[in-house]
Amino acid sequence: MDVIIGGGKYGEHAFQKLQQDKTPVVVLDTDPACILRTHRQIPSITMDELAVSGLPPAGAGFIQGGIAETADVIARCRPERIFPTVPVHVAAGIISAITGLRPDPVGAAAMDSCIPDKLVVGRNGADIYCSLNRVGRCPDHCPAPPACPVTGVRRAEPLFALLRESLTACPGDDTETRPTPAVIIESRQFGPGLGYILTEDLTCAIADLQNTGADTAWVATACRCHGVATALTCGKPGD
């Protein structure tokens, strides 16, 4: 079973691909009249029904909800893959929902100092957006070839590896204390322009963070070319 978060056009693209593979899928969206559910006439299913009976082969079900409900699906049903198709950092949101850590705009400044400027393309609160393409808009359904079709530059290392090197080796804003724990989750390619994260990658990252006992964390999700990193803390945002 797989999970799609978001019932817009990108969610519908993911759904179409998964249905071709006859993969059972749960769709979550805060809007019960979202494009995907309306176009595909996906029946509603409760969390309890999903946890007890699951879905039939190639079946589909809709749950009204967002990040918190997705975290519940992961905890109770252990889907294989998660397809984030909404404009938020889904992995960081799920980690926040499960661990209680919250987005930390102040802590993002320390994280920002660890990421090479050449990778940063934007900042918003606790989030830092990164890309290997700083030239122009990526083509739709890009297959992520070895050389970027926009810049023409061959990637020596994928972005997820560059972020792992940058964030795990950085002490943060205080060299006298232990480094802020950092987890980098790879966004894998299911098809051109369509990425997913393995639930196992996410749950292992959560376990690693919980084992550290730290009250701050840096969480990044990235594919070969693009990514987002979020600073989290146990305090109130801005503390």
Task: Check residue 135 and report its DSSP letter.
Answer: S
pLDDT in tens, 74-104: 999 999 999 999 999 999 999 999 999 999 9
- Is-above-0.85 flag for pTM? yes
* H or E element, residue 2: strand 2-5
- Cα–Cα–Cα angle for 181, 116, 138, rounded to 5 degrees: 105
In 41-158, which residue ranges form alpha helices assigned H by DSSP? 47-53, 67-77, 90-99, 105-114
Tens of pLDDT, residues 50-80: 988 888 877 999 999 999 999 999 999 999 9
Domain ranges of the chain: 2-87, 100-185+214-233
Number of C-beta neighbours around residue 106 at 10 A: 14
For strands 188-191 and 60-64, give the pairing: unpaired
Q: Note the CATH architecture for domain 2-87.
A: 3-Layer(aba) Sandwich (3.40)
CA-to-CA distance for 85 and 29, rounded, in angstroms?
10
